[in-house]
Structure 1
């Protein structure tokens, strides 16, 4: 058994660990996915002959299958990165993702576009390897700050990605996919020449065990350390509750406040900027002062208040005043990652991130129908119920459960030694 602690940061021979690449990778991937947000539904509708109902059904299927692919593939890629290293898994996944965007750009039929979305879900599971890389190169006491920066990269990417996609889509619905492919493949090429390995051979898993490279095996890993499964539960409730925003935000704000596309775009921008400020500027110093446990509780509590505010606001301007409160929810994930990564050894970090990404896949499967159906029912009953924000209140309740669970399980742990 190797005695290297999980907290030490590994260095590849001759090259410093490339946090800059991982940050750039997260940013460019988020931009690539953001580019597709305003485009994919319209391309599906074009393939469906302009039939909105049929396009909606296909769009739901696309979203579901993407989550299913995340659910099954993330544990595989996570464990594979523990066995052969982070670098090859990241580079293969990035190359595959770039080729997949090209596949969708030139898909001749809806069925081929669907195949492309399946491949997209498989290759997007590389996010688990990126997070494991970050855990490798960052001391435990600095991980919350590092994961905060990663969160800001995603926020910034999803802030500008839809804008780029919308502008390019005005000319051709296929053009945004080509732009996403170009960004991803440039990132792959940069990594091919610059990215060092973060997990040296002596710190890797000794074998690739298929019994652990699946969602059930991931669950066993989460049960291996005290409190780890509970922390994963906090993360799952967080991911599930936040699915309410992509699921019903546009429909809810249009129905309740009569917002135009311009107002929606400005609100997306304001929310993204607030999140970036918290993740990049506040997470590091605040977590250093209050600790990872309190960061988790602060984030969960702020999310509860933010969701209640959003669901209760009778006017659009009042909704916007809740944006800074809701942004404080961004403290949860960095604090949670800091607590979870401390509990496992270097050669288990890939498995851990694969398990987390798999739970995100479940949230992506359950969230849209759950919140969509609740919102639809509340609108149909609005004349008597007067609660169009019911689905958002449900998210607040889920985050309330996450807060209570965090109180019970979010405790500090010593870094673990590597496992054979």
Structure 2
């Protein structure tokens, strides 16, 4: 399963890391320049526009990403990665061809339907790595993401400052990186899933080309045009049929997804508490992520280069937290403590940002950011450790659903608050609301050790009760078979000199025998399902 690339070397999952790196390098290259462009174009409506875009994007991600993951199981990982990379990078690529940012905000909102690169990347890793070795592989994927954000924003901002006469230069770089990523997926990335395993999507070129002939070139061109036209027609028919199916069944599927998620998260006190904590935390996180760079641009006078440097510094924090602190602190202090520490770190980060009045103060908030990144790995490991193996995927999937909903709710609420407080004496006041939400989540998280202990005890009792039911049922069946075999060959009326086999006393009353009592008790404790 954990195959190596041709010629040996690094494991096979390393093939997918350049896909992740190039995609987020392409988007982060543009993100270092975007805050100034958004402020110049939308002015005082910037926060409101960002809120609306992120709300739509989050809701689309919540509803459509599971279907892309499911399609990757049937249609192959590479095909879906091709779609998600193109859909995610397209909004930033539009900026290379127009200065009208309405094209960007509309395509960015729609891009939420394609925001499944991480999910499919993790599925790709699961295809090629053994179960006990997946955690380090996932960590390497997250570190790759952090590396792209360390390089991209500062590079984009420096290029923008160096070539001010060509404002689209940075976005042309995004187009180039996106094209390289797509070509890498088509011609290099192996397939790892099902019947598409090791299949190549690219054209098969001969190793030794034949001599050039004009007639052959013309014939080949005509064949190529016909093939392209046929594939386009097939794709259009398939897309039309799929769109009709989705339009017909999507409301029902959405209801089923929401119903399943609610049922899972309400199933135990621990999961109810965790869902509350995750919701409070990620509403604040998405509010901070969606508004911070515009805030420092408008309120603290950050230049394009300074925005890029700040984003790269936060990317470095993510690399250190995910690659070092999680590996040390979670085994040492446990998941509940690290989850509370992560919430406290995020609250501290928000408070520092709210009161920041000079650019250098923003870098002090990274002390809190280092610990804030402990939260989600800790809470995920906690759920994985306490939930039964049959429910782990459902429980973690439901928590990811809450994250996606927060991506829609958080920016919408906080964007409105940022607009309302922008011209007041405390323009960063909404970040205090995010800090308060994290503090409330931390207060709830203090009960996690007790809830974990109670949940483990509940699981032990459930397993013990189930074992007792099965034991009683087996004993009852065995006794019944034994009693039935003893009565074989006897006259039902008590012939052959034997006593009657029917369970009646001399007075004519029914007298239950041990096999009957045991079987009745077993069936009462564990009744057959209709």
- TM-score, structure 1 normalization: 0.71
Pairing partner for 1:245 from 288, 309, 315:
288
Deviation for aligned residue 1:301: 2.4
2:26 aligned with 1:32, yes or no? yes
Find the aligned partners of 1:144 and 1:293 in 2 and give their Cα distance.
19
Q: Which residue of 1 aligns with 2:501?
A: none
Pairing partner for 1:401 from 433, 440, 448:
440
Secondary structure of 1:29 counterpart: helix
Q: Which residue of 2 aligns with 1:190?
A: 184
CA distances 1:320-350 after superposition (whole Å, capped 9, x unpaired) = 334223311111122233344564769985x
2:129 aligned with 1:129, yes or no? no
Find the aligned partners of 1:246 and 1:381 in 2 and give their Cα distance.
22
Pairing partner for 1:66 from 50, 57, 62:
57
Deviation for aligned residue 1:161: 2.1
In structure 1, stretches of 5+ residues that fail to align are 1-9, 202-207, 415-420
In structure 2, stretches of 5+ residues that fail to align are 196-245, 460-530
- 1:17-416 counterparts in 2 under 5 A? 18-40=12-34, 52=43, 58-81=49-72, 86-97=77-88, 102=93, 105-106=96-97, 112-134=103-125, 146-169=137-160, 170=164, 172-192=166-186, 195=189, 214=254, 217-218=257-258, 220-221=260-261, 223-224=263-264, 226=268, 227-228=270-271, 230-250=273-293, 252-253=295-296, 263-312=306-355, 317=360, 319-340=362-383, 343=387, 349=393, 355-356=398-399, 358-378=401-421, 380-382=423-425, 387-408=426-447, 411=452
Aligned residue pairs: how many? 391
Deviation for aligned residue 1:68: 3.1
Residues 1:220 and 1:401: Cα distance change in structure 2 (over 3 Å): farther
Q: Is the 8 A contact 2:342 2:372 kept in 1?
A: yes
Deviation for aligned residue 1:392: 1.9
Find the aligned partners of 1:35 and 1:142 in 2 and give their Cα distance.
32
Deviation for aligned residue 1:183: 2.6
Residues 1:86 and 1:286: Cα distance change in structure 2 (over 3 Å): farther
Q: Which residue of 2 aligns with 1:418?
A: none
Q: Is the 8 A contact 1:287 1:295 kept in 2?
A: yes
Secondary structure of 1:223 counterpart: helix
Q: Is the 8 A contact 1:75 1:213 kept in 2?
A: no
Q: Is the 8 A contact 2:84 2:114 kept in 1?
A: yes
Q: Is the 8 A contact 2:345 2:368 kept in 1?
A: yes
- TM-score, structure 2 normalization: 0.59
CA radius of gyration, larger in: 2
Residue range with higher mean Cα deviation, 274-283 or 289-298: 289-298
Find the aligned partners of 2:261 and 2:154 in 1 and give their Cα distance.
40
Residues 1:180 and 1:110: Cα distance change in structure 2 (over 3 Å): closer
Deviation for aligned residue 1:292: 3.5
Find the aligned partners of 2:142 and 2:133 in 1 and give their Cα distance.
14
Q: Is the 8 A contact 1:78 1:128 kept in 2?
A: yes
CA distances 1:28-61 after superposition (whole Å, capped 9, x unpaired) = 3222221232445666788xxx563577765554
CA distances 1:229-271 after superposition (whole Å, capped 9, x unpaired) = 6444433333221234344434655677665555554443433
